[in-house]
Chain A
């Protein structure tokens, strides 16, 4: 398999397989955590198992696997740890959190955010998340955000009638009387789509880098 081509023949030091070491440590940690969390639960007997029995057995099993991996890390040559990127996980997680706290009223301690609905949460997730890629540029992301969000608003809110907040309720007060929620939704979606088109064409069309090459995700053999 070509995945081992990158080496793993790193022989300095005691640790011969850093990947297995990290894997083993995380399993042992997980097992310890589970055992600690279930410490108050009764074990029961085999003929009347308590709530704690199975989780404990499983935790011991996980821990044993972890220990075995730890031993293997010192005995057998194996994979090195791949490089970690911080940018990707950071932006993606922030984007998800931004979506979660703005989609509906949220309060955590002293902070409280009014429910802003999909109209805000969607673009936030796209734009913040978009910066996870090093190639990110603001304008295409804005176009994507303002183009895709109205599509989702109409699809989920209008056509499918899912109970997902679409726009902040304070916005409804600004609209002419007699407009139903659906009408407001459609008007807002149309407005956003127009904005998307405007941004797309504003600032000149630069057809740069259109040589047919784009970035694509490659699949490693392991998945």
Chain B
């Protein structure tokens, strides 16, 4: 306990310096600015804004990136409530009741409770991370290559189970993602693999390029097919602060949402996505009158939004302690850390304690910033929403180009976002979901490295993955998850969760 306090005070010492406070503020602001644009999710936002952190010192850069991440998340919720367009998968649930509230002239209250719930969830999640960080890091030290491999396999299986639509297609996407990650120089022999003799493929495909193509450009292409003319937020926003009744109705959902979100967020394989869905289902089940849901029930905003933010934050845990990014956003964080010369993993906490604890403290600061800047600025975000899409997407397009060019100063990277944009567009048309592919790609290199290492250690015996107890349990969980997901009755339930 004493450790926790001293660590956190070290962290707050770093995060509360004037420069870092400014960076957190700036990050939240630009993150929300881009994230609020309909059709731009957190992944594209972070990839676009990655370059603006290059000139900073590592601590400042990561603090700013974390700010951008929270800002993008909150921006997505704003769009969901005001225009009924979820910026990303996790705010889909918010559209259900949030937008209904907006239609009833209670948009302000919906935004307010979302911000307050998120802030509370963020505070709890920060403490959870600080408390779990140290023990989990020790756990990481007993992990060998076999355990890492099994953990990642479990994460990928989890991603398959969580993906919407056909399970077969999700598996295929994971495999394609891992396959794409093998392009480039082989780690051990130095032989070129699938590079087509092209020099810029020797280092492999850049993650930011793939993410920007599949999530930035492909989204633009898809949106161009799906634009429609309609009214945008004609209603008044209304008062922002929820009144006593609203609080009475929503404090329990916030508590439950936080608990659900924080727990699911820790799981590898993007468990955070499930948080809002789970929270919404729980609230609906617990409600005295469940017919209010879908017609502007404040619990339907408070719970999922808290779960969303708690999950967004605790998903830092696998990254910071084990060095395994649980989702695409965290993979971008890996990219950012690597650019600043930090290899994420258990050693970060011991080697860069300021960075580790500073970042954790700045998460809380970032959440506070969001509360402070977003509520007064709602009017400005609303104006942004009134920009017609045919003028917005060219701007997004240019930002994507500039952003990706400035990462490596390579024109070929820019061309590649066009290529992957087309690929992503085709995937969407063929009914594939790009998110599992990205996760497969992210984990691919680590997966192969640990697989090969484990097999060398075991002299080529595959039994090592089952014989070692931790690894065996992880694989067992993975198999169980897959079997459960394939059972017809569960599959029906899963579809229901996602269609609600």
Partners in one complex: yes
Could you tell me which A residues sit within 8 Å of B by CB distance?
A: 1, 19-20, 22-23, 26-27, 30, 34, 37-38, 41, 45-52, 54-55, 58-59, 61-62, 65-66, 68-69, 72, 79, 81-85, 87-89, 92-93, 95-97, 99-101, 103-104, 106, 118, 121-122, 125-127, 129-130, 132-133, 135-136, 140-141, 144-145, 148-149, 152, 155-156, 160-164, 212-223
- The 4 tightest CB contacts between A and B, nearest first, are A47-B460, A217-B223, A51-B186, A46-B460
Q: Is the CB of A148 within 8 A of B429?
A: no
Residues of A within 8 A of B176 (CB): 27, 30, 62
Q: A1-B495, A55-B194, A58-B178 are in contact. Are A144 and B394 (CB under 8 A)?
A: yes
User: What is the bound-complex CA distance between A104 and B51, given in angstroms?
Assistant: 18
- Chain B nearest Cβ from A155, distance in angstroms: 8
Q: A50-B189, A89-B425, A100-B411 are in contact. Are A213 and B54 (CB under 8 A)?
A: no
Q: A19-B431, A51-B189, A104-B411 are in contact. Are A126 and B456 (CB under 8 A)?
A: no
Choose among B86, B230, B422, B459 the residue that contacts A216 (Cβ–Cβ < 8 A).
B230
User: What is the bound-complex CA distance between A149 and B398, given in angstroms?
Assistant: 9
Q: Is the CB of B227 within 8 A of A51?
A: no
Q: Is the CB of A34 within 8 A of B194?
A: yes
User: What is the bound-complex CA distance between A132 and B223, given in angstroms?
Assistant: 11
Interface size on B, residues (CB 8 A): 91
Q: A213-B230, A216-B232 are in contact. Are A223 and B89 (CB under 8 A)?
A: yes
A-B contact pairs, 23 of them (CB 8 A): A19-B431, A23-B169, A30-B179, A37-B196, A46-B455, A50-B189, A54-B178, A54-B451, A68-B168, A87-B224, A88-B220, A95-B394, A96-B217, A100-B414, A103-B414, A126-B395, A129-B398, A164-B402, A213-B231, A214-B230, A214-B387, A217-B393, A220-B226
Interface residues of B in 210-241 (CB under 8 A from A): 217, 219-232, 234
Choose among B232, B390, B432 the residue that contacts A212 (Cβ–Cβ < 8 A).
B232
Whether B415 is near chain A, meaning CB under 8 Å from some CB there, is yes
Residues of A within 8 A of B227 (CB): 133, 215-218
Choose among B171, B386, B498 the residue that contacts A65 (Cβ–Cβ < 8 A).
B171
- Chain B nearest Cβ from A69, distance in angstroms: 6
Residues of A within 8 A of B428 (CB): 222-223
Whether B193 is near chain A, meaning CB under 8 Å from some CB there, is yes
Q: Is the CB of B164 within 8 A of A101?
A: no
Q: A100-B412, A161-B55, A217-B39 are in contact. Are A148 and B495 (CB under 8 A)?
A: no
A69 closest partner in B (C-beta):
B168
Whether B33 is near chain A, meaning CB under 8 Å from some CB there, is no
Q: A156-B51, A216-B389 are in contact. Are A89 and B451 (CB under 8 A)?
A: no
Q: Is the CB of B431 within 8 A of A216?
A: no
- Chain A nearest Cβ from B173, distance in angstroms: 9
User: What is the bound-complex CA distance between A27 and B179, given in angstroms?
Assistant: 12
Residues of B within 8 A of A220 (CB): 226
Q: Is the CB of B411 within 8 A of A47?
A: no
Residues of B within 8 A of A152 (CB): 398-399, 402
Q: Is the CB of A84 within 8 A of B406?
A: no
Q: Is the CB of A129 within 8 A of B394?
A: yes
Choose among A22, A69, A125 the residue that contacts B401 (Cβ–Cβ < 8 A).
A125
Residues of A within 8 A of B55 (CB): 160-162
Whether B452 is near chain A, meaning CB under 8 Å from some CB there, is yes
- Chain A nearest Cβ from B175, distance in angstroms: 5
Whether B261 is near chain A, meaning CB under 8 Å from some CB there, is no
- Chain B nearest Cβ from A100, distance in angstroms: 4
Most buried by A among B171, B231, B387, B398: B398
Q: Is the CB of B175 within 8 A of A99?
A: no
Q: Is the CB of A212 within 8 A of B226?
A: no
User: What is the bound-complex CA distance between A135 and B227, given in angstroms?
Assistant: 11
Q: Is the CB of B432 within 8 A of A23?
A: yes
User: What is the bound-complex CA distance between A125 and B394, given in angstroms?
Assistant: 7
- Chain B nearest Cβ from A18, distance in angstroms: 10
Q: Is the CB of B397 within 8 A of A92?
A: yes
Residues of B within 8 A of A130 (CB): 390-391, 393-394
User: What is the bound-complex CA distance between A34 and B195, given in angstroms?
Assistant: 11
Residues of B within 8 A of A22 (CB): 429-430
- Chain B nearest Cβ from A156, distance in angstroms: 6
Whether B182 is near chain A, meaning CB under 8 Å from some CB there, is yes
Q: Is the CB of B226 within 8 A of A218?
A: yes
Q: A59-B179, A93-B422 are in contact. Are A85 and B83 (CB under 8 A)?
A: no
Choose among B222, B223, B397, B495 the residue that contacts A129 (Cβ–Cβ < 8 A).
B397
Q: Is the CB of B52 within 8 A of A62?
A: no
A2 closest partner in B (C-beta):
B499
Choose among B182, B405, B422 the residue that contacts A54 (Cβ–Cβ < 8 A).
B182
- Chain A nearest Cβ from B303, distance in angstroms: 20
Q: Is the CB of A45 within 8 A of B460?
A: yes
Whether B246 is near chain A, meaning CB under 8 Å from some CB there, is no
- Chain A nearest Cβ from B149, distance in angstroms: 12
Choose among A49, A54, A126, A217 the residue that contacts B389 (Cβ–Cβ < 8 A).
A217
- Chain A nearest Cβ from B419, distance in angstroms: 8
User: What is the bound-complex CA distance between A189 and B393, given in angstroms?
Assistant: 22
Q: Is the CB of A55 within 8 A of B193?
A: yes
Whether B489 is near chain A, meaning CB under 8 Å from some CB there, is no
User: What is the bound-complex CA distance between A93 and B213, given in angstroms?
Assistant: 11
Further pairs besides A46-B461, A218-B85, A222-B428: 9, Cβ < 8 Å: A30-B176, A55-B194, A62-B179, A65-B169, A69-B169, A96-B421, A99-B398, A156-B402, A214-B388
